[in-house]
Amino acid sequence: MNHLYVSDAWKVGVYLENGWKREEITNAIRRVMADEEMRERSRALKQKLDASMIEGGSSYESVESLVDYISSF
C-alpha cells in the first residue's frame, strides 16, 4: 500500500519524512491519536472495508470469481 494513499488520499495516517527515527515515530503516533477527524475517517474506512468483505460484498464477490476461475482448469 502506498503511503500517499494513507496520508494524502485517505487521510488516515501520516508520512514519516525523516525515516524511522524514534522521536519521529513517537510524534507521528501522537498526531494520529490526537486527530479526531483522522480517527473518524479511519472508522468510516473500516466500515466500508467490512461491508466489502461480507458475503455479497464487492471484495467477497471478486475473490469468489477468482476461485471459480482457477477451479475451472
36 vs 73, more confident:
36
Q: What is the pLDDT of residue 3?
A: 86
Q: What is the pLDDT of residue 1?
A: 63
Q: How much is the CA Rg of the chain, to the nearest whole Å?
A: 17
Nearest to 45 by CA among 1, 11, 2, 15: 11
Question: Domain segments of the chain: what residues?
Answer: 3-71
pLDDT band at 14 (very low <50, low <70, confident <90, very high): very high
Nearest to 10 by CA among 1, 18, 19: 1
